[in-house]
Amino acid sequence: MCRTDARTAITHFCITSNGSKYDNPKHFAKHQRNLKRKQQKLSRKKKGSNNRQKARRKVAKVHSKISRFREDFLHKLSRKIVNENQVIALENLNVKGVVRNHNLAKAISDCGWGMFCTMLKYKAEWEGKTYTEVDRFFPSSKTCNVCLNQVGSLPLEVRNWTCVHCKTTHDREINAAINIRNEALRILSLGKARYCL
């Protein structure tokens, strides 16, 4: 089971229910300086000139390189997750809505979550495994995976919290991934979601 989260886009690409955290490789950020330099050179070239065409091709080459690195990472990670699990469950994120947050837009666009979900889905189907999505409004972060007690509010800056009922200390993201796994298995066994709109 896998959790991809906009709030952790800066450090982790996804977190699994077994506690594995996969770092966000930040492909765009790694090549941003080189891209900016090439774009500046392009902007200084005279329109219609051969030098402008050469500069434009260099910019396109950097974009292509970033895209290839991102796709390679997503293919390898999705293959690893599908190979290691019989059931793959994700939170159905509203990526378009999250990208509207200008503070996170670049980091989120760099992740390629939509492509990742598509890869997981078709690879799982190809292997005859189950792929399912849990509603984004399911309170995965706020629910204790041990006793199912739900806290009233859990601000985004709180990364670890202790359940007042069973006294279990949780890593916010791993707890959410476990809850997504449990909810997905419940949905698959009953055939319906508890948190529907």
Say yes or no to pLDDT of 6 above 50.
Answer: no
Spatial contact of 65 and 28, defined as CB atoms under 8 Å apart: no
196 domain residue, yes or no: no
Residue 153 forms part of a structural domain: yes
The chain-wide mean pLDDT, for the chain, equals 87
The token pair that represents 130 in the structure block: 């189950």
Tens-digit pLDDT profile for residues 48-71: 999 999 999 999 999 999 999 999
Asked if residue 47 belongs to a domain, the reply is yes
The whole-angstrom separation of Cα 150 and Cα 175 is 12
- Structural tokens at position 170: 């949780």
Q: What distance lies between CA 162 and its chain's CA centroid?
A: 25
Give the residue carrying structure tokens 């041990």.
Answer: 146
Could you tell me if residue 197 is inside a domain?
no
Model pTM score: 0.82
In a domain, 28, yes or no: yes
* Cα dihedral sign, 88-91-92-95: negative
Domain that holds residue 60: 2-190
Inter-residue contact 156 to 173 (CB < 8 Å): no
**pLDDT(131) > 80:** yes
Number of folded domains in the chain? 1
